[in-house]
Chains A and B, each alone.
Chain A
């Protein structure tokens, strides 16, 4: 009985002593950390997507608190987060236009001719190992095996009918899909840009006609009709300059191939 009491007592006293020492030590050895760092970290989206260019949200919060990074780099959080971070840091946020992913290819399985019947691993890189760098006759086309879908943390990329499509409501513009696409098809565009050319094929018109029912043939009709000089055909494919485009949608009507789309939403 005595031994039990003594054991409990000794361990209790030891524990209490260590507890007191640690409590005192935490006061004595207290290190000031910038409270803004924790506050900034709290305000961020917390997706650790790396879209800001720093290693995770912690790295970015540290850089912001140290004054090394601007407040509006958190793409996942967008303008609301930028405003919050700016309030914590006591500076103005600066304008942030939300960027969203866009896949300039409309060659779904029923319009783009297949090069071969691919049954290998579900990976765009694997499909590129066979001849022609694509499973479709068009070498510029989206392979549609979903490397971007796997890279997306926000469920914003989906394969629809053999090509990748981004869900603009879910996309945060972190750019993970842009890096994941082995053909460098996916691009980030400003959210306000609603009119885009759904093709990037640089072959001559006659060649495009053979391999894809919808691809841009570079007929220059949109370029001639554009009221704001925003569309230009380069390398046999039309390209829209978002800084000049007034979103009138006239080109979508005149295009004989109906390859210029109005993006939703």
Chain B
């Protein structure tokens, strides 16, 4: 059991990193990574929402969709769940934890449209994970996203002062460095816990 959990975590953070090997959530990855501060905020919000969404979607899938034989509706149902969940979490945080709310700020509502969140719940179904495994996969997937975006933001902060060809100014140099980071993460592929 424990090895299974560790395997899932390592897989989600390193070998099957959501951004670098599954190419999910690339939009916030490029959009929110100009500063380490904002990248950390976005990463935290994603961890939070991915964990919660995994838990709730598992419940909906197992106790509503499977008994009624409506598993083909999972994408639709999960989108509904995620959208409602993000709204709910936003309201809850605003009232109960204003400091966290202001720290996450604009990133929380932005996550509604993050495909990595939908990706994680769909992969939970595909991999036949149980409740605990789903939540672990969600949280660690979020951590992997955070690792990637914080790493990339640090790289971008350095690139700003680097001497690179002028025609690469802006997005081109970002995409090139993102590609190099993804290549580096390929070094983890093939790692397995038996």
> Which residues of A come within 8 Å of B, CB atoms?
3, 6-7, 10-11, 14-15, 18-19, 21-22, 25-26, 28-31
Does A11 lie within 8 Å of B68, measured CB to CB? no
Q: Which 5 A-B pairs have the closest CB atoms?
A: A18-B84, A29-B95, A29-B91, A25-B91, A31-B94
Chain A residue numbers with a CB within 8 Å of B91 are: 22, 25-26, 29
Chain B residues contacting A31 (CB-CB under 8 Å) are 94-95
Task: State how many residues of chain B have any CB contact under 8 Å with chain A.
Answer: 19
User: What number of A-B contacts does a CB cutoff of 8 Å give?
Assistant: 46
Tell which of A7, A21, A26 has the most Cβ of chain B within 10 Å.
A7
| 19 other A-B residue contacts (CB within 8 Å) besides A10-B68, A18-B84, A21-B84 | A3-B70, A6-B68, A6-B70, A10-B64, A10-B65, A10-B70, A10-B73, A14-B60, A14-B64, A14-B81, A15-B80, A18-B81, A19-B84, A21-B88, A22-B88, A29-B91, A29-B94, A29-B95, A30-B95
Q: Please measure, in the bound complex, the distance between the C-alpha atom of A21 and the C-alpha atom of B88, giving whole angstroms.
A: 8
- A7 and B70 form a contact (CB under 8 A): yes
Q: Which residues of B contact A28 (CB under 8 A)?
A: 95
Q: Cβ of B76 < 8 Å from any Cβ of A?
A: yes
Contacts of A21 in B (CB 8 A): 84, 88
From B89, which residue of chain A is reached at the shortest CB distance? A25
If over half of B's interface residues share one DSSP class (helix, strand or loop), that class is named, otherwise mixed; here it is: helix
Name B139-189 residues within 8 Å CB distance of A: none
B87 on the A face (CB < 8 A)? yes
Distance from A37 Cβ to chain B, minimum over Cβ atoms (Å): 15
Complex Cα distance A25/B93, Å? 11
Chain B, Cβ-Cβ closest to A28? B95
Which residue from chain A places its CB closest to the CB of B85 in the assembled complex?
A18
Q: Tell me which residues across on chain B come within 8 A of A15, comparing CB atoms.
A: 80
Question: Which chain B positions have C-beta within 8 A of A10?
Answer: 64-65, 68, 70, 73, 77
Bound complex: CA A73 to CA B84 (Å) = 41
- The digit string for B5-34, where 1 denotes a CB below 8 A from any CB of A, is 000000000000000000000000000000
Q: How far apart are A145's CB and chain B's nearest CB, in angstroms?
A: 23
By DSSP majority rule, is chain A's interface helix, strand, loop, or mixed? helix
- Residues on A with C-beta less than 8 A from B60 are 14
Which chain B residues lie closer than 8 Å to A14 at the CB level? 60, 64, 77, 80-81
The reply on B69 being an interface residue by CB < 8 A is yes
Task: Write the chain A residue with the least CB distance to B101.
Answer: A31
26 A-B contact pairs sorted by A residue (CB < 8 Å): A3-B69, A7-B70, A7-B73, A10-B64, A10-B68, A10-B73, A10-B77, A11-B76, A11-B80, A14-B64, A14-B80, A14-B81, A18-B80, A18-B81, A18-B84, A22-B84, A22-B87, A22-B88, A22-B91, A25-B91, A25-B92, A29-B91, A29-B95, A29-B96, A30-B95, A31-B95
Q: Do B92 and A29 touch (CB < 8 A)?
A: yes
Q: Tell me which residues across on chain B come within 8 A of A18, comparing CB atoms.
A: 80-81, 84
Residues of A within 8 A of B68 (CB): 6, 10
User: In the complex, which residues of chain B have a beta carbon less than 8 angstroms from the beta carbon of A6?
Assistant: 68-70
Complex Cα distance, B68 from A22, in Å, reads 25
With the chains together, A25 CA to B128 CA distance in Å? Answer: 32
Q: Which residues in B have their C-beta under 8 angstroms from that of A22? A: 84, 87-88, 91
- Within B57-108, which residues are at the interface with A (CB < 8 Å)? 60, 64-65, 68-70, 73, 76-77, 80-81, 84, 87-88, 91-92, 94-96
Distance of A7 Cα from B69 Cα, bound (Å): 9
The minimal Cβ–Cβ distance linking A209 to chain B, given in whole angstroms, is 46
Residues on the B chain within 8 Å of A25, using CB: 88, 91-92
Closest Cβ neighbor of A27 among chain B residues: B91
In the assembled complex, how far is the CB of residue B168 from the closest CB belonging to chain A, in whole angstroms? 22
Closest-by-CB residue of A relative to B96 is A29
Q: Which residues of A contact B80 (CB under 8 A)?
A: 11, 14-15, 18
Contacts of B64 in A (CB 8 A): 10, 14
Instruction: State the CA gap A25–B76 with chains docked (Å).
Output: 23
B73 A11 Cβ-Cβ under 8 A: yes
- In the assembled complex, the Cα of A176 lies from the Cα of B96 at a distance in Å of 41
- Give the CA-CA distance A22 to B69 in the complex, in Å: 27
